[in-house]
Structure 1
Amino acid sequence: MTALDALDRAFAAEEPFPVGGCTYCYGEEGLAELSRPLHLIPDDLVSAAAGEVPSHWDDFPRLYRRLVPRIIRPLVAGLFPVSEELVATRLVEASWGTWDAPLADALHTLWTAWWQATLRTHPGPVSIRDTLGLITVATDSLRPWLDVWTATRTPAADAHLTALLDDVLFEHEIADLRLGFHGEYHATAELVEWLLTDVRDRVTDSRLDDPHFATIAALAPRPNH
Protein backbone atom coordinates (compact mmCIF):
# COMPACT_ATOMS: atom_id res chain seq x y z
CA MET A 1 0.00 0.00 0.00
CA THR A 2 2.88 2.38 0.70
CA ALA A 3 4.30 1.75 -2.77
CA LEU A 4 0.87 2.24 -4.35
CA ASP A 5 0.39 5.54 -2.53
CA ALA A 6 3.84 6.66 -3.69
CA LEU A 7 2.91 5.67 -7.22
CA ASP A 8 -0.21 7.83 -7.06
CA ARG A 9 1.82 10.80 -5.85
CA ALA A 10 4.48 10.38 -8.55
CA PHE A 11 1.95 10.17 -11.37
CA ALA A 12 -0.22 13.00 -10.05
CA ALA A 13 1.94 15.37 -12.11
CA GLU A 14 0.60 13.81 -15.32
CA GLU A 15 -2.02 16.33 -16.32
CA PRO A 16 -5.06 15.75 -18.54
CA PHE A 17 -4.55 16.40 -22.25
CA PRO A 18 -6.75 16.19 -25.36
CA VAL A 19 -6.66 12.48 -26.23
CA GLY A 20 -6.76 11.75 -29.95
CA GLY A 21 -7.14 8.49 -31.76
CA CYS A 22 -9.40 6.22 -33.75
CA THR A 23 -13.03 7.16 -33.19
CA TYR A 24 -14.42 3.89 -34.54
CA CYS A 25 -14.37 2.08 -31.18
CA TYR A 26 -15.13 4.86 -28.70
CA GLY A 27 -16.26 7.86 -30.73
CA GLU A 28 -15.58 11.47 -29.88
CA GLU A 29 -17.38 11.01 -26.56
CA GLY A 30 -14.96 8.31 -25.45
CA LEU A 31 -11.93 10.38 -26.39
CA ALA A 32 -13.41 13.33 -24.50
CA GLU A 33 -13.88 11.20 -21.39
CA LEU A 34 -10.26 10.00 -21.58
CA SER A 35 -9.23 13.66 -21.69
CA ARG A 36 -10.87 14.38 -18.34
CA PRO A 37 -9.08 14.39 -14.94
CA LEU A 38 -7.96 10.88 -14.05
CA HIS A 39 -10.47 10.27 -11.26
CA LEU A 40 -13.36 11.18 -13.56
CA ILE A 41 -12.61 8.59 -16.26
CA PRO A 42 -15.08 5.68 -16.00
CA ASP A 43 -13.64 2.33 -14.88
CA ASP A 44 -14.76 0.51 -18.01
CA LEU A 45 -13.04 3.07 -20.21
CA VAL A 46 -9.80 2.75 -18.23
CA SER A 47 -9.79 -1.02 -18.67
CA ALA A 48 -10.67 -0.76 -22.36
CA ALA A 49 -7.83 1.69 -22.98
CA ALA A 50 -5.43 -0.41 -20.91
CA GLY A 51 -5.73 -3.30 -23.34
CA GLU A 52 -6.11 -1.37 -26.58
CA VAL A 53 -3.40 -1.61 -29.24
CA PRO A 54 -0.97 1.34 -29.27
CA SER A 55 -1.83 2.28 -32.86
CA HIS A 56 -5.33 3.21 -31.69
CA TRP A 57 -4.01 6.41 -30.06
CA ASP A 58 -2.27 9.52 -31.32
CA ASP A 59 0.02 9.55 -28.25
CA PHE A 60 -0.12 6.11 -26.70
CA PRO A 61 2.81 6.48 -24.22
CA ARG A 62 1.39 9.67 -22.75
CA LEU A 63 -2.08 8.20 -22.38
CA TYR A 64 -0.74 5.07 -20.70
CA ARG A 65 1.35 7.14 -18.29
CA ARG A 66 -1.77 9.01 -17.22
CA LEU A 67 -3.73 5.81 -16.69
CA VAL A 68 -1.05 3.90 -14.76
CA PRO A 69 -2.43 4.59 -11.24
CA ARG A 70 -5.93 3.56 -12.33
CA ILE A 71 -4.52 0.38 -13.90
CA ILE A 72 -1.98 -0.78 -11.35
CA ARG A 73 -3.89 -0.35 -8.07
CA PRO A 74 -6.83 -2.61 -9.03
CA LEU A 75 -4.52 -4.96 -10.92
CA VAL A 76 -2.39 -5.89 -7.91
CA ALA A 77 -5.61 -6.44 -5.94
CA GLY A 78 -6.83 -8.91 -8.55
CA LEU A 79 -9.69 -6.61 -9.56
CA PHE A 80 -8.64 -5.42 -13.01
CA PRO A 81 -10.47 -7.02 -15.97
CA VAL A 82 -7.43 -7.01 -18.25
CA SER A 83 -4.85 -9.79 -18.09
CA GLU A 84 -1.64 -9.08 -16.22
CA GLU A 85 0.52 -10.17 -19.13
CA LEU A 86 -1.31 -7.87 -21.53
CA VAL A 87 -0.73 -4.94 -19.16
CA ALA A 88 2.96 -5.87 -19.02
CA THR A 89 3.16 -5.92 -22.81
CA ARG A 90 1.44 -2.55 -23.08
CA LEU A 91 3.79 -1.03 -20.49
CA VAL A 92 6.76 -2.20 -22.52
CA GLU A 93 5.19 -0.80 -25.69
CA ALA A 94 4.74 2.49 -23.84
CA SER A 95 8.50 2.40 -23.00
CA TRP A 96 7.81 2.91 -19.31
CA GLY A 97 11.47 2.46 -18.41
CA THR A 98 12.32 5.66 -20.31
CA TRP A 99 9.73 7.81 -18.52
CA ASP A 100 10.92 10.58 -16.22
CA ALA A 101 12.84 9.16 -13.27
CA PRO A 102 10.16 9.74 -10.59
CA LEU A 103 7.63 7.78 -12.65
CA ALA A 104 9.92 4.91 -13.62
CA ASP A 105 11.32 4.70 -10.09
CA ALA A 106 7.82 4.54 -8.60
CA LEU A 107 6.98 1.60 -10.86
CA HIS A 108 10.27 -0.16 -10.06
CA THR A 109 9.51 0.24 -6.37
CA LEU A 110 6.00 -1.07 -6.87
CA TRP A 111 7.21 -4.21 -8.68
CA THR A 112 9.58 -4.98 -5.81
CA ALA A 113 7.02 -4.33 -3.09
CA TRP A 114 4.33 -6.34 -4.88
CA TRP A 115 6.66 -9.29 -5.41
CA GLN A 116 7.80 -9.31 -1.79
CA ALA A 117 4.21 -9.08 -0.53
CA THR A 118 3.14 -11.86 -2.89
CA LEU A 119 5.79 -14.24 -1.57
CA ARG A 120 4.62 -13.64 1.98
CA THR A 121 0.91 -14.16 1.34
CA HIS A 122 -0.82 -17.32 0.16
CA PRO A 123 -3.20 -17.47 -1.48
CA GLY A 124 -2.88 -14.05 -3.09
CA PRO A 125 -5.33 -12.02 -5.14
CA VAL A 126 -3.26 -12.60 -8.31
CA SER A 127 -1.79 -15.99 -9.22
CA ILE A 128 1.94 -16.42 -8.83
CA ARG A 129 2.24 -17.19 -12.56
CA ASP A 130 0.53 -13.94 -13.53
CA THR A 131 2.46 -11.85 -11.01
CA LEU A 132 5.80 -13.28 -12.10
CA GLY A 133 4.82 -12.92 -15.74
CA LEU A 134 4.01 -9.24 -15.40
CA ILE A 135 7.12 -8.15 -13.55
CA THR A 136 9.37 -10.32 -15.71
CA VAL A 137 8.08 -8.94 -18.98
CA ALA A 138 7.87 -5.37 -17.68
CA THR A 139 11.49 -5.43 -16.51
CA ASP A 140 12.78 -7.81 -19.21
CA SER A 141 14.38 -9.83 -16.44
CA LEU A 142 13.47 -13.03 -14.62
CA ARG A 143 16.47 -14.07 -12.56
CA PRO A 144 16.41 -11.16 -10.05
CA TRP A 145 12.83 -12.06 -9.11
CA LEU A 146 13.76 -15.72 -8.75
CA ASP A 147 16.66 -14.71 -6.50
CA VAL A 148 14.24 -12.86 -4.23
CA TRP A 149 12.11 -16.01 -4.13
CA THR A 150 15.17 -18.09 -3.19
CA ALA A 151 15.88 -15.76 -0.27
CA THR A 152 12.25 -15.76 0.90
CA ARG A 153 11.92 -18.95 2.93
CA THR A 154 8.36 -18.67 4.13
CA PRO A 155 5.47 -21.15 4.02
CA ALA A 156 3.69 -18.80 1.61
CA ALA A 157 6.68 -18.71 -0.75
CA ASP A 158 6.86 -22.52 -0.74
CA ALA A 159 3.12 -22.80 -1.37
CA HIS A 160 3.50 -20.47 -4.35
CA LEU A 161 6.37 -22.63 -5.56
CA THR A 162 4.16 -25.70 -5.55
CA ALA A 163 1.43 -23.77 -7.36
CA LEU A 164 3.84 -22.55 -10.05
CA LEU A 165 5.15 -26.05 -10.62
CA ASP A 166 1.65 -27.45 -11.00
CA ASP A 167 0.99 -24.71 -13.54
CA VAL A 168 4.09 -24.89 -15.72
CA LEU A 169 4.51 -28.67 -15.58
CA PHE A 170 0.97 -29.27 -16.78
CA GLU A 171 1.21 -30.82 -20.24
CA HIS A 172 4.94 -30.05 -20.09
CA GLU A 173 4.44 -26.35 -20.84
CA ILE A 174 7.76 -25.58 -19.17
CA ALA A 175 9.60 -26.96 -22.20
CA ASP A 176 8.56 -23.83 -24.08
CA LEU A 177 7.46 -21.35 -21.43
CA ARG A 178 6.89 -17.88 -22.81
CA LEU A 179 5.73 -14.94 -20.73
CA GLY A 180 3.95 -11.84 -21.96
CA PHE A 181 0.86 -11.41 -24.09
CA HIS A 182 2.90 -12.01 -27.23
CA GLY A 183 5.19 -14.56 -25.59
CA GLU A 184 8.04 -12.09 -25.75
CA TYR A 185 10.06 -13.48 -22.82
CA HIS A 186 11.28 -17.07 -23.06
CA ALA A 187 11.55 -18.21 -19.44
CA THR A 188 12.33 -21.93 -19.79
CA ALA A 189 16.11 -21.99 -19.40
CA GLU A 190 16.31 -19.69 -16.38
CA LEU A 191 13.34 -21.24 -14.60
CA VAL A 192 14.45 -24.86 -15.05
CA GLU A 193 17.98 -24.10 -13.86
CA TRP A 194 16.56 -22.35 -10.80
CA LEU A 195 14.21 -25.21 -9.98
CA LEU A 196 17.01 -27.77 -10.20
CA THR A 197 19.50 -25.79 -8.11
CA ASP A 198 18.36 -22.93 -5.88
CA VAL A 199 15.05 -24.35 -4.66
CA ARG A 200 15.33 -28.07 -5.36
CA ASP A 201 15.35 -28.84 -1.62
CA ARG A 202 12.05 -26.99 -1.20
CA VAL A 203 10.13 -28.94 -3.80
CA THR A 204 8.69 -32.43 -3.45
CA ASP A 205 7.83 -33.33 -7.00
CA SER A 206 9.09 -36.48 -8.65
CA ARG A 207 8.74 -34.91 -12.08
CA LEU A 208 11.89 -32.91 -11.39
CA ASP A 209 13.83 -36.18 -11.01
CA ASP A 210 13.20 -37.16 -14.62
CA PRO A 211 16.64 -37.19 -16.28
CA HIS A 212 15.14 -35.59 -19.37
CA PHE A 213 14.06 -32.58 -17.32
CA ALA A 214 17.63 -31.36 -16.91
CA THR A 215 18.13 -31.27 -20.66
CA ILE A 216 15.31 -28.77 -21.15
CA ALA A 217 17.37 -25.83 -19.93
CA ALA A 218 20.29 -26.73 -22.18
CA LEU A 219 18.10 -26.85 -25.27
CA ALA A 220 15.91 -23.85 -24.55
CA PRO A 221 16.70 -20.44 -26.07
CA ARG A 222 17.65 -17.67 -23.70
CA PRO A 223 16.18 -14.17 -23.63
CA ASN A 224 18.09 -11.46 -25.46
CA HIS A 225 18.86 -8.70 -22.98
Structure 2
Amino acid sequence: MPSHQERQLITALDALDRAFASEEPFPVSGCTYCYADQDLLELSGPLGLISDDLVSAVAAEVPDHWDDFPRLYRRLTPRIIRAVVTDRLHVDEDLVASRLVQAQWTTWNEPLTRALGEVWSAWWRTTLHIHPGPVSIRKVLSLVTVATGTLRPWLDTWTAIRTPAADAQLADLIDDVMVEYEITDLRMGFYDEYRASPELLDWLLTDARTRTDDIRLDDPYLLEHHRDQSEADRSTRPPR
Protein backbone atom coordinates (compact mmCIF):
# COMPACT_ATOMS: atom_id res chain seq x y z
CA MET A 1 0.00 0.00 0.00
CA PRO A 2 1.46 3.41 -0.95
CA SER A 3 2.56 5.65 1.89
CA HIS A 4 1.06 9.09 2.48
CA GLN A 5 4.01 10.70 0.70
CA GLU A 6 3.76 8.32 -2.25
CA ARG A 7 0.06 9.13 -2.61
CA GLN A 8 0.90 12.83 -2.61
CA LEU A 9 3.44 12.25 -5.36
CA ILE A 10 0.91 10.29 -7.42
CA THR A 11 -1.56 13.14 -6.96
CA ALA A 12 1.05 15.70 -8.04
CA LEU A 13 1.94 13.70 -11.15
CA ASP A 14 -1.74 13.34 -12.08
CA ALA A 15 -2.19 17.10 -11.59
CA LEU A 16 0.83 17.64 -13.84
CA ASP A 17 -0.88 15.65 -16.60
CA ARG A 18 -4.04 17.74 -16.26
CA ALA A 19 -2.16 21.05 -16.23
CA PHE A 20 -0.23 20.20 -19.40
CA ALA A 21 -3.27 18.81 -21.22
CA SER A 22 -3.70 22.30 -22.68
CA GLU A 23 -0.46 21.82 -24.65
CA GLU A 24 -1.86 20.76 -27.99
CA PRO A 25 -0.02 18.82 -30.70
CA PHE A 26 1.84 20.88 -33.29
CA PRO A 27 3.89 20.07 -36.41
CA VAL A 28 7.31 19.12 -35.07
CA SER A 29 10.32 19.69 -37.28
CA GLY A 30 13.98 19.13 -36.60
CA CYS A 31 17.11 17.24 -37.52
CA THR A 32 16.20 14.78 -40.26
CA TYR A 33 19.63 13.19 -40.05
CA CYS A 34 18.95 11.91 -36.52
CA TYR A 35 15.18 11.55 -36.74
CA ALA A 36 13.13 9.94 -39.49
CA ASP A 37 10.01 11.51 -40.91
CA GLN A 38 7.99 8.93 -38.98
CA ASP A 39 9.58 10.11 -35.72
CA LEU A 40 8.67 13.73 -36.44
CA LEU A 41 5.15 12.68 -37.39
CA GLU A 42 4.81 10.72 -34.15
CA LEU A 43 6.03 13.68 -32.10
CA SER A 44 3.42 15.81 -33.86
CA GLY A 45 0.59 13.50 -32.80
CA PRO A 46 -1.20 12.59 -29.56
CA LEU A 47 1.05 12.66 -26.49
CA GLY A 48 -0.03 9.24 -25.27
CA LEU A 49 0.92 7.58 -28.55
CA ILE A 50 4.54 8.76 -28.55
CA SER A 51 6.80 5.80 -27.79
CA ASP A 52 8.85 5.68 -24.60
CA ASP A 53 12.05 5.45 -26.65
CA LEU A 54 11.20 8.63 -28.55
CA VAL A 55 10.31 10.47 -25.34
CA SER A 56 13.69 9.47 -23.92
CA ALA A 57 15.44 10.64 -27.07
CA VAL A 58 13.82 14.07 -26.88
CA ALA A 59 14.54 14.30 -23.15
CA ALA A 60 18.26 13.93 -23.82
CA GLU A 61 18.65 15.61 -27.20
CA VAL A 62 20.47 18.92 -27.61
CA PRO A 63 18.10 21.86 -28.20
CA ASP A 64 19.40 22.78 -31.66
CA HIS A 65 18.07 19.50 -33.07
CA TRP A 66 14.55 20.99 -32.94
CA ASP A 67 13.08 24.03 -34.67
CA ASP A 68 11.04 24.81 -31.54
CA PHE A 69 12.79 23.08 -28.66
CA PRO A 70 11.04 24.91 -25.78
CA ARG A 71 7.58 24.09 -27.09
CA LEU A 72 8.43 20.44 -27.78
CA TYR A 73 10.05 19.92 -24.38
CA ARG A 74 7.14 21.66 -22.68
CA ARG A 75 4.62 19.41 -24.40
CA LEU A 76 6.54 16.25 -23.46
CA THR A 77 7.24 17.37 -19.89
CA PRO A 78 4.54 15.23 -18.20
CA ARG A 79 5.84 12.09 -19.91
CA ILE A 80 9.47 12.99 -19.17
CA ILE A 81 8.94 13.87 -15.51
CA ARG A 82 6.75 10.87 -14.69
CA ALA A 83 9.37 8.58 -16.23
CA VAL A 84 12.19 10.31 -14.31
CA VAL A 85 10.40 10.05 -10.97
CA THR A 86 9.66 6.36 -11.49
CA ASP A 87 13.16 5.65 -12.85
CA ARG A 88 11.90 4.56 -16.26
CA LEU A 89 13.40 7.24 -18.48
CA HIS A 90 16.98 5.92 -18.62
CA VAL A 91 18.32 9.43 -19.18
CA ASP A 92 20.66 11.02 -16.67
CA GLU A 93 18.69 13.11 -14.18
CA ASP A 94 21.26 15.91 -14.36
CA LEU A 95 20.68 16.12 -18.09
CA VAL A 96 16.92 16.41 -17.63
CA ALA A 97 17.44 19.25 -15.15
CA SER A 98 19.72 21.09 -17.56
CA ARG A 99 17.31 20.60 -20.45
CA LEU A 100 14.45 22.01 -18.37
CA VAL A 101 16.56 25.08 -17.66
CA GLN A 102 17.35 25.41 -21.37
CA ALA A 103 13.63 25.14 -22.11
CA GLN A 104 13.14 28.03 -19.64
CA TRP A 105 10.45 26.18 -17.74
CA THR A 106 10.14 28.90 -15.09
CA THR A 107 8.80 31.27 -17.80
CA TRP A 108 5.94 28.96 -18.80
CA ASN A 109 2.35 29.77 -17.90
CA GLU A 110 1.71 29.80 -14.17
CA PRO A 111 -0.49 26.67 -14.02
CA LEU A 112 2.33 24.69 -15.65
CA THR A 113 5.10 25.99 -13.39
CA ARG A 114 2.94 25.54 -10.31
CA ALA A 115 2.20 21.93 -11.22
CA LEU A 116 5.90 21.24 -11.77
CA GLY A 117 6.75 22.88 -8.46
CA GLU A 118 4.28 20.60 -6.71
CA VAL A 119 5.96 17.57 -8.27
CA TRP A 120 9.41 18.73 -7.12
CA SER A 121 8.16 19.15 -3.56
CA ALA A 122 6.25 15.86 -3.45
CA TRP A 123 9.09 13.91 -5.05
CA TRP A 124 11.63 15.31 -2.60
CA ARG A 125 9.49 14.54 0.45
CA THR A 126 8.76 11.05 -0.83
CA THR A 127 12.47 10.43 -1.38
CA LEU A 128 13.19 11.40 2.23
CA HIS A 129 10.58 8.94 3.51
CA ILE A 130 11.76 5.92 1.51
CA HIS A 131 15.06 4.07 1.58
CA PRO A 132 16.22 2.92 -0.80
CA GLY A 133 14.28 4.84 -3.41
CA PRO A 134 14.05 4.23 -7.16
CA VAL A 135 16.35 7.21 -7.82
CA SER A 136 19.45 7.97 -5.75
CA ILE A 137 19.24 10.80 -3.23
CA ARG A 138 22.04 12.68 -4.98
CA LYS A 139 20.28 12.55 -8.35
CA VAL A 140 16.96 13.74 -6.89
CA LEU A 141 18.64 16.58 -5.00
CA SER A 142 20.63 17.59 -8.06
CA LEU A 143 17.60 17.68 -10.34
CA VAL A 144 15.38 19.75 -8.07
CA THR A 145 18.27 22.08 -7.22
CA VAL A 146 19.33 22.78 -10.80
CA ALA A 147 15.74 23.03 -12.05
CA THR A 148 14.76 25.55 -9.38
CA GLY A 149 18.13 27.30 -9.16
CA THR A 150 18.32 26.91 -5.39
CA LEU A 151 19.59 24.30 -2.93
CA ARG A 152 18.87 25.62 0.54
CA PRO A 153 15.07 25.06 0.62
CA TRP A 154 15.58 21.36 -0.13
CA LEU A 155 18.15 21.07 2.65
CA ASP A 156 15.81 22.89 5.04
CA THR A 157 13.10 20.33 4.27
CA TRP A 158 15.61 17.55 4.96
CA THR A 159 16.50 19.17 8.29
CA ALA A 160 12.84 19.13 9.29
CA ILE A 161 12.21 15.51 8.26
CA ARG A 162 13.82 13.34 10.92
CA THR A 163 12.94 9.79 9.95
CA PRO A 164 15.07 6.64 9.72
CA ALA A 165 14.71 6.79 5.94
CA ALA A 166 15.89 10.41 5.80
CA ASP A 167 18.91 9.52 7.95
CA ALA A 168 19.68 6.52 5.75
CA GLN A 169 19.51 8.77 2.69
CA LEU A 170 21.89 11.14 4.45
CA ALA A 171 24.38 8.32 4.94
CA ASP A 172 24.09 7.48 1.24
CA LEU A 173 24.71 11.07 0.21
CA ILE A 174 27.77 11.34 2.44
CA ASP A 175 29.18 8.12 0.99
CA ASP A 176 28.63 9.53 -2.48
CA VAL A 177 30.11 13.01 -2.08
CA MET A 178 33.02 12.04 0.16
CA VAL A 179 34.74 9.97 -2.49
CA GLU A 180 38.07 11.74 -3.08
CA TYR A 181 36.64 14.76 -1.22
CA GLU A 182 34.29 15.63 -4.07
CA ILE A 183 32.25 17.59 -1.54
CA THR A 184 34.92 20.33 -1.63
CA ASP A 185 34.14 21.09 -5.29
CA LEU A 186 30.71 19.64 -5.92
CA ARG A 187 28.70 20.91 -8.86
CA MET A 188 25.24 19.89 -9.99
CA GLY A 189 23.69 19.75 -13.42
CA PHE A 190 24.89 18.13 -16.62
CA TYR A 191 26.93 21.23 -17.39
CA ASP A 192 28.02 21.74 -13.76
CA GLU A 193 25.94 24.90 -13.68
CA TYR A 194 25.18 24.89 -9.95
CA ARG A 195 28.06 25.14 -7.47
CA ALA A 196 26.71 23.17 -4.51
CA SER A 197 29.76 22.72 -2.28
CA PRO A 198 29.50 25.79 -0.01
CA GLU A 199 25.84 25.27 0.95
CA LEU A 200 25.92 21.50 1.12
CA LEU A 201 29.13 21.21 3.10
CA ASP A 202 27.98 23.87 5.56
CA TRP A 203 24.72 21.98 6.04
CA LEU A 204 26.49 18.65 6.55
CA LEU A 205 28.77 20.16 9.19
CA THR A 206 26.03 22.06 11.02
CA ASP A 207 22.34 21.16 10.68
CA ALA A 208 22.95 17.53 9.70
CA ARG A 209 26.00 16.78 11.83
CA THR A 210 24.12 15.32 14.81
CA ARG A 211 22.30 12.88 12.54
CA THR A 212 25.38 10.92 11.49
CA ASP A 213 28.38 9.41 13.23
CA ASP A 214 30.46 9.42 10.06
CA ILE A 215 33.94 10.40 11.24
CA ARG A 216 34.93 11.53 7.76
CA LEU A 217 33.10 14.77 8.51
CA ASP A 218 35.67 15.43 11.26
CA ASP A 219 38.62 15.26 8.88
CA PRO A 220 40.91 18.28 9.53
CA TYR A 221 41.25 18.96 5.81
CA LEU A 222 37.49 19.14 5.40
CA LEU A 223 37.03 21.36 8.44
CA GLU A 224 39.78 23.71 7.25
CA HIS A 225 38.25 23.86 3.78
CA HIS A 226 34.87 24.71 5.30
CA ARG A 227 36.40 27.42 7.48
CA ASP A 228 38.28 28.95 4.56
CA GLN A 229 35.18 28.85 2.38
CA SER A 230 33.05 30.49 5.07
CA GLU A 231 35.60 33.28 5.49
CA ALA A 232 35.78 33.79 1.73
CA ASP A 233 32.00 33.98 1.48
CA ARG A 234 31.85 36.55 4.27
CA SER A 235 34.54 38.68 2.64
CA THR A 236 32.64 38.82 -0.67
CA ARG A 237 29.25 39.45 0.92
CA PRO A 238 28.09 43.05 0.32
CA PRO A 239 27.82 45.21 3.46
CA ARG A 240 24.38 45.79 4.90
State the TM-score bracket (shorter-chain normalisation). over 0.9
List structure 1 segments (4+ residues) > 4 angstroms apart after TM superposition.
Answer: none
Cα RMSD (Å) of the superposition?
1.3
| Displacement after TM superposition at 1:21 (Å) | 1.0
- Tell me what 1:153 maps to: 162
- 1:130-176 Cα offsets, whole Å, 9 max, x none, are 00010000001001000000000000000000000000001111111
Aligned identity (percent) is 64
- Tell me what 1:58 maps to: 67
- Tell me what 1:20 maps to: 29
Distance 2:89 2:37 in 1: 25
SS of the equivalent of 2:34 reads helix
- Tell me what 1:211 maps to: 220
Say yes or no: does 1:133 pair with 2:137. Answer: no
SS of the equivalent of 2:22 reads coil
Range moving further from structure 2, 65-74 or 90-99: 65-74
Distance 2:223 2:158 in 1: 21
Distance 2:87 2:223 in 1: 34
- 1:95-148 Cα offsets, whole Å, 9 max, x none, are 000000000000001000000011011110000000001000000100100000
Match of 1:29 among 35, 38, 60: 38
Say yes or no: does 1:9 pair with 2:18. Answer: yes
Residues 103-142 of structure 1 aligned to structure 2 (within 5 Å): 103-142=112-151
Q: Which amino acid aligns with 2:141?
A: L
- Tell me what 2:183 maps to: 174
Match of 2:196 among 168, 171, 187: 187
Distance 1:92 1:214 in 2: 33
Match of 2:51 among 24, 42, 48: 42
Length-normalised TM-score, structure 1: 0.96
Q: Which amino acid aligns with 1:89?
A: S
- 1:51-80 Cα offsets, whole Å, 9 max, x none, are 000011111010001101111112101111
Given that 1:15 and 1:66 are in contact with CA atoms closer than 8 Å, whether structure 2 keeps it comes out as: yes
Given that 1:192 and 1:216 are in contact with CA atoms closer than 8 Å, whether structure 2 keeps it comes out as: no
Q: Which amino acid aligns with 1:193?
A: D
Structure 2: give runs of 5+ residues left out of the alignment: 1-9, 234-240
Distance 1:169 1:24 in 2: 42
Distance 2:174 2:69 in 1: 36
Given that 1:196 and 1:208 are in contact with CA atoms closer than 8 Å, whether structure 2 keeps it comes out as: yes
Say yes or no: does 1:87 pair with 2:87. Answer: no
Structure 1: give runs of 5+ residues left out of the alignment: none
Given that 1:189 and 1:216 are in contact with CA atoms closer than 8 Å, whether structure 2 keeps it comes out as: no
Distance 2:225 2:169 in 1: 22
SS of the equivalent of 2:70 reads helix
Distance 1:208 1:153 in 2: 19
SS of the equivalent of 2:29 reads coil
Distance 2:168 2:56 in 1: 31
